[in-house]
């Protein structure tokens, strides 16, 4: 094949440092827009972005020319710098070191989009930590509790 073609959907999940509930709701729309711009600059297509006070969910199409770790790393770096500039209460903002990334099939896309959109309702019943544990088990990803949280 003369051309490289791919469409790989990724559901990325990452928390604020120490899962601190510091992401202000009034900045959510601007933050989501900014994160979408970072993804676009990296050659990725943003599908759905939502944040809660202590974490982010980002559904996107992975670029053919960037690695997953490059994309998530730049997304966290760039959005972290942007957040730090949004006011004195966010000057010390940081995302956690790690992330979760899960593949999404074309047929499952609408379900994941809806799941991301409904984060506020979802977290009335489940903490971010419990949510991530469920996702890791669903995707059969081995993990050690001692190293998942920072």
3 domain-assigned: no
Q: Work out the pLDDT band at 101, boundaries 50, 70, 90.
A: very high
In this prediction, residue 1 carries a pLDDT of: 64
Q: Which residue has the tokens 């979408």?
A: 36
43 domain-assigned: yes
Predicted structure pTM score: 0.91
- The CATH number given to whatever domain includes residue 66 is 3.30.70.1290
The domain tally of the chain equals 1
**Containing domain of residue 66, as a range?**
8-148
Separation of alpha carbons 126 and 22, rounded Å? 18
29 domain-assigned: yes
| Alpha helical stretches, state H, the chain | 28-41, 68-84, 109-117, 119-122, 128-138, 145-148
CB atoms within 10 A of CB 108: 13
Bigger pLDDT: 23 vs 150: 23
133 domain-assigned: yes
CA-based angle 91:92:93, to the nearest 5? Answer: 95
Q: 45, 50, 34, 39: which is closest to 9 by C-alpha?
A: 45
How do residues 48-94 score in pLDDT, each as one tens digit?
Answer: 999 999 999 999 999 999 999 999 999 999 999 999 999 999 999 99
2 domain-assigned: no
121 domain-assigned: yes
């Amino acid at each position: 094949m003369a051309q490289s073609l791919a469409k790989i959907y990724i559901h990325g999940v990452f928390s604020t440092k120490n899962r601190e509930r510091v992401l202000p709701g009034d900045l959510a729309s601007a933050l989501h827009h900014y994160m979408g711009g970072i993804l676009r600059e990296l050659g990725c297509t943003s599908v759905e972005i939502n944040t809660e006070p202590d974490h982010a969910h980002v559904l996107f199409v992975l670029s053919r020319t960037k690695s997953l770790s490059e994309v998530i790393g730049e997304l966290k770096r760039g959005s972290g710098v942007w957040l730090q500039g949004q006011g004195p209460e966010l000057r010390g903002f940081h995302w956690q070191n790690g992330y979760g990334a899960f593949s999404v099939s074309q047929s499952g896309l609408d379900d994941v989009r809806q799941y991301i959109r409904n984060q506020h309702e979802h977290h009335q019943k489940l903490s971010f930590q419990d949510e991530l544990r469920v996702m890791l088990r669903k995707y059969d990803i081995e993990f050690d509790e001692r190293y998942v949280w920072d």
